[in-house]
Amino acid sequence: MNAPYERQRLEDIDFMTCMTLTLLGNYAQTGHFGGPLAYTPFNVAAHLVGPELGGLRYDYRRPKHPYCDKFMLAGGHCAPTCYALWMIQGQSMYRKHQATGDPRYRVAPDLAVLPVDALGFRRGAGALKTLLSDQGLTDHPLFAQAKGRGIRALQGHIESTDVTNDVNGGPSGVGIATAAGKAAFWDVVGAPMGTPKVIAFEGEFAMTEGHAQELSRSASGSGSSSPTTTLASTTR
């Protein structure tokens, strides 16, 4: 495809996403940096280049629209790349709405992932209820985004309630076979190829274990011609 795109801006967001997910990991004192950092360029491109260049067609304000493209992070431990990108997107929309008052930029607080949610990485919802009050920070302006909505728990394994993600992701490979089922559904109802697109994002590990075999059998058993498997994605 020869559609124009702003490579420098994508690379800037890629860098910001990498730095944000590194901050998340350092703050929570958790590992798994390599996978999310390696996944980030594809993740940013999939979310931001647009459908003309093979990216996702979706609306951050309504990410679960039934006819939008389907994105699934099958590599569960790589969740920070999504958390970080969603924070950047959510903050961009938040700042634009604050600056203009234009309702087109408003995202429901319970849908968005915002910078304040960095405090929720690898923390349970129970601990987050009193996290700010315990430290005397409830009314601190830096944490104003937590007012009303609280801090979102980011479990570290992707969930179907998380913005564009469409499947719960546990250990490596979870979601790969689910992608085949979703692609097969759209084949059965007669949707044209690529509408909607189904992307299950995983690295090499899922391609060498049972999940990959499960994908193959699900696709062949349903007669679906949609899933195309690479080391990075399963697409329709």
Does 138 map to a domain? no
- Residue 227: what pLDDT? 45
CATH value at residue 199: 3.40.50.970
- Residue 233: what pLDDT? 46
**Residue 165: is its pLDDT beyond 90?**
no
Does 27 map to a domain? yes
Q: How many domains does the chain have?
A: 1
Q: HSE on the CB side for 185, CA within 13 Å? A: 11
Please tell me the pTM assigned to this model: 0.85
How far apart CA 149 and CA 108 sit, in angstroms, is 10
How far apart CA 15 and CA 9 sit, in angstroms, is 10
Does 123 map to a domain? no
Q: HSE on the CB side for 36, CA within 13 Å? A: 28
30-71 pLDDT, tens digit each: 777 777 888 899 999 999 998 888 889 999 999 999 889 988
Q: Which residues contact 23 (CB under 8 A, 6 or more apart)?
A: 118
- Residue 228: what pLDDT? 41
How far apart CA 178 and CA 168 sit, in angstroms, is 10
- Residue 224: what pLDDT? 52
